[in-house]
Every structure is written in C-alpha cells, then in structure tokens.
Amino acid sequence: MTLNIVRKIDGPIKVNHVLVSVSDKTGLDRLVKALVDINPKVMIYSTGGTFNAIRKWLGVKCAKKNLMQVSKYTGQPEMQGGLVKTLDFKIYLGLLSETYNKAHVKDLKRVKGVAIDMIVVNLYPFKQTITSAGVTPEEARTNIDIGGPCMVRASAKNYLRVASLTEPADYDRILEELVKSNGNISLRTRFNLARKAFAQTAEYDTAIAKYLAMRNFDEIEKCYKIKVRK
C-alpha cells in the first residue's frame, strides 16, 4: 500500500462549505445563522430533519442562497428510513481531498464537487437509547449510527483542511474564532477538534460492542418473525 504523505497545507482555512447532520439540534439555530452572518457566501449542505429545521431558521430567501439538500448535491435520493444519506463518493471527496493535491482537485472538478471545510455532526443517541426502560435489541440496533461516524472520522483524519465540530458545547468557541479571523479556522483548532472527534467515535463503538456482548441470542431471536428460506 502506498501511503499519501502530505507536506504542504494551509494554516487558516476559510469556511465556505459546511456539512450539517445532527440528532441533537441544541444551539444549531444560532450556529447556522451566525455562519451565514460571518460569511454570506457560505453553503450549508444538510439532510432530512436537520435540513428542514435549518430552512425554517434561515428563512426562504436565505435558504435558497445558503442551503442545499445533500441528496440534491450528490444526485442520489436518501434510502428509505434515512439509512443512506451521506455515504456517497462525492461527499467523501469533499471531506478527504487535500488543497495542494492536484489529483484531488481534478477529482472534485470531475464530479462537480466542493471541498467541505467543516462538518457539524453528532450521532444517533445509542447510549441514551439502551438506558431506557424496556428497550429491545432491535430498538438499540436501529440507533446505531453509520453515516455519522464515517463523516466524523473522515473529517477528523483530514484536520489538515477540515474542522470536525461534534459537540454543541463547542459552537460558541468556534463562532468566536470565526468572527475574529474573518471566517477562518486555524490548524490548531482543527487538530484539537479532531482529537475530540476520534475520542467520541471510539467511545461510541465501545458502547455498541459492550451492549452486544451482554445480549444473548434468545433476546435477539424474540425481536423478529424469522423466515426460513428453502
């Protein structure tokens, strides 16, 4: 395997393209409004219920200019139940591409994609779900997030260029930096956000693994009407 070793990156990165997909919408209204105030040309890409909430908060005129559904961007509709929304080649080119890699820039142009500068993502509430009284293994399984951790890991890996904003508690601090730096976010901040992001995905997967390890097959079997195909 040939590793892609990077030598040249930018310090401050202008936040022009933001991917937003959250379960916990705490503080998101203030965040997205501030992002548009800081950079009137910013484009926010979003999914499902998050998209609908942002459209309401921004208003019709602003939403037409600054908001796009991920499905419109990728050209692929969401899978029923929202099972596949962001797992798309065009999205991950935007997350993993490097500024000074000519092949990456060429790939983005080929698919008419954009370099995503920031994600605002938090995950399905798996830990909260499994602590609820009477929760079934099927309800727990349904609350295992796939696309969210993938986006978080990809953006955190590429802290060279992308900011991984995964906690509402960090919104104010990030907005303060963006205001002071004319819409830019520093390498130091991107790195610190990446450290937090990987810690969160590790904790998330550990919680899933521990939960499944504690289940016996009888519990699983009781959840379903099992068909035996001949």
12-60 residue pLDDT tens: 999 999 999 999 999 999 999 999 999 999 999 999 899 999 999 999 8
What pLDDT shows up at residue 81?
65
185-206 residue pLDDT tens: 999 999 999 999 999 999 999 9
Q: Of 3.40.50.880, 1.10.760.10, 3.40.50.1380, 3.40.50.970, which CATH number belongs to 13-221?
A: 3.40.50.1380
For residues 208 and 144, the answer to whether their CB atoms sit within 8 Å is yes
Chain centre to alpha carbon of residue 132: 26
Chain centre to alpha carbon of residue 30: 18
Pairing mode, if any, of strands 67-69 and 163-165?
unpaired
- The 8-class DSSP code of residue 14 comes to E
What pLDDT shows up at residue 124?
84
Pairing mode, if any, of strands 13-14 and 184-185?
antiparallel
What pLDDT shows up at residue 85?
75
**C-alpha distances out from residue 85 to 50, 75, 133, 190, 191, Å:** 12, 11, 30, 25, 27
pTM for the full predicted model? 0.94
62-110 residue pLDDT tens: 999 999 999 999 998 777 666 677 889 999 999 999 999 999 999 999 9
**H helix runs in the chain, sequence order:** 28-38, 48-58, 60-66, 70-74, 89-96, 102-110, 126-130, 137-142, 147-157, 171-180, 187-213, 217-221
* Percent with pLDDT over 70 in the chain: 97
Sign of CA dihedral 220, 21, 165, 75: positive
Boundaries of every domain in the chain: 13-221
